[in-house]
Amino acid sequence: MGEVRLGILPWGQATDWPSLEATARQAEGLGYDHLWAWDHLHAIFGDPDQPMYEGWLTLAAWAKVTRRIRLGLLVGANTFRNPGLVAKLAATLDHISDGRAILGLGGAWFEHEHVAHGIDFGTGYGQRLNWLHEAVGAIRIVLDGGAATSPENGHYRFRELRQQPVPLQARLPIMIGGSGEKKTLRTVATYADMWNAMGTAEFLRHKVDVLREHCAAVGRDISEIEMTVGCKPLIRDTEAEARRAWEAQMALNRTPMEEVLDDDTFWIGTADQIAARMHETRALGFNTFIAEMAAPYDVETLERWIGEVKPMLGP
């Protein structure tokens, strides 16, 4: 097994900026590897009409209050912006942060924010994932210093698109989020440096097998892709204590418990229980874990996940 890496994603909803900034500083101080922001315009848990901070500006601000931790969106909504603009944003963030940017992208799923803002949501997942595949291909070329031109029947209209400056990193990593077997995992195999997925070990085991098939089809070694798993841990000495803290968080986020009880990405329990879930997932090749944290950001979990749980996983 490879080295365990941990990242933190403080939810951008139902919070204020001082809390987001303080959590970023604390995550870096505790030794976390990366720090992530959502790319949403409305709250995605509970009532959508709650405070929500924009993702790219959040990353830029975090870049100036941290020095080491890597920064990215988990994941950027491809529908929100022209891919050429996304390449420019990523390169700019890389310079602002002295080479710490990660470009996260996905097909987008939250129809409410698209309708409210008048953003084209396409005809369905299939079309949005086609757009994503085309966008990532162009972005990779531009970030690497090349010129991107769209195919005649493409969704975009790039004509010898070049940009300066290129990122500070020789290869700014692209993360693709999602587990769709026909299209998303094909895009992961073709372009991604990192892949983010969520779900049970059984679910992920199958997805890894599908990704391996896509990698073989494009002539790529799956080991070149850093596999990351998203989760929402909350740690206490007893499962009952963790459950009470979780219920309080969901209340603050205007999220009825019946909406989240069947969500298997919430890992609520003791340090031993969380470590067991991570061991199970690591056996599949996932060595990078990214914890989403609902406001109010739980300092106990933030400290115990890296200070107590991570050592349980071994070297």
pLDDT per position as a tens digit, 225-252: 999 999 999 999 999 999 999 999 999 9
Give 39's strand partners.
Answer: none
* Helix, strand, coil in percent for the chain, rounding step 5: 45, 15, 40
Which segments in the chain show pLDDT lower than 50? Answer: none
The whole-model pTM stands at 0.94
Of all helices (H) and strands (E), which one includes residue 227? strand 226-235
CA–CA distance, 2 with 29 (Å, rounded to integer): 23
The helices-and-strands tally (H runs, E runs) of the chain is 11, 10
The confidence score (pLDDT) of residue 298 equals: 96
pLDDT digits (tens, 9 = 90+) for 165-179: 999 999 999 999 999
The confidence score (pLDDT) of residue 297 equals: 97
Q: Which residue ranges form the domains of the chain, and what is each CATH number? A: 5-312 (3.20.20.30)
Q: For 13, list phi and psi in degrees, rounded to 5.
A: -105, 155
The confidence score (pLDDT) of residue 33 equals: 98
The confidence score (pLDDT) of residue 121 equals: 97
